[in-house]
Chain A
């Protein structure tokens, strides 16, 4: 068995696990992040709605909500995938279903799509890319803007991109192509420019690269000549995949060791302490020793059968195990990302207070 030690070991790579790992690392802990794969965060739009989150039910009174939210805003800004919004702020952003969603935090390009800011918006679809119908979207968004007593006009356009005629496009294919091929990227810019006309916002399916950072997106907007908002398409949703890539890269720069691909088989306990986590790796389990463990693995983790006695507040019956995210209870889907940030921040902070013996080694 391998012996490998860290101060804080985080299980799970969804929004709560990423936040917890960053929070523990920023408090000086030597952190390892393990996961079987990307969490559900990588499938959605990334919106965070802070309204109606009752901190008392989570035992979150001791957490300053603004501290956690500001930490997350700083984290995404440093990772070059900045969020906009904040405590007390609220806006509406379009969805792929042609509705408007209320949100307190969102990736910058989505946040700026608040219909109150625009008179004319163009929704551009890509020929041969299924799952994003600009006519449907423009019609529904105009209708829903009307219901919000706004006269924002959404019109549709269709652009063609160079691609193999043998199969339909996918958002992932376009995004990967933009990442790897500057000539193709230029072709996309040239294809989009003519559809702008008098519009001051362009809505696109999420295609602008899985590796691009904030500066790349600003550059793209400048070249096209218009603010751009990307919507999450069918999985894999490029904008959230990009967020995950940026955050992973940033965590690695913060010194977090990221270990993905292998499920946790067992928590090794001694008395009231979890001393190690065993990953199911080929051949034999890999044992990772840790002073503290943060569970950010969601509700369906087989290694939690039977589940630890309770997760009242933040800790379990094991004194050095902290829980965050949807493991803490059943929440309305709209609230889950907010709860992940608040509880992830807290779990990382609490864990880093207990374990710092490996830091600085």
Chain B
């Protein structure tokens, strides 16, 4: 079988082109897929109570990546979806997840007692830390993290909803706000970013 130099040349150009594109793709630096905060800003510190009644201080988590979400246990919408995403991210990261804290902070302290947080989070992943506190303890945290919340309760209303912001915050190993994610961001993307934050 013969092949003219012209065709050999064309074949060579195609191979070189594919190699160049492949090199460009592989060599490119990683670009975070969440909303990047630049320069990273020190995350506001707080101390709240976890679902086991123990104090949890954010600044004690230095050296670990913290994924943080504000919600409430009676939520039937974005909160259970986000908690399920946390569970999947935990699984996806495998051994690396030992250096990740998954934190859920209530926007409904009236109903989200320590026991309620404990019972609710037991349905998801034991790695998720549920934090609650008094309104006076939580108020500054909501303010620092720009959390919007609007409870729809009135006299005699027990099963009320709370409208609230639903972003996920990624706090890096230096306790800096580094990334935020809108609620609709898929968990695989967040897991990928977290793995790079850990590296």
The finding on whether chains A and B are genuine partners in a shared complex, rather than unrelated, reads no
Chain B residues close to A by CB (< 8 Å): none
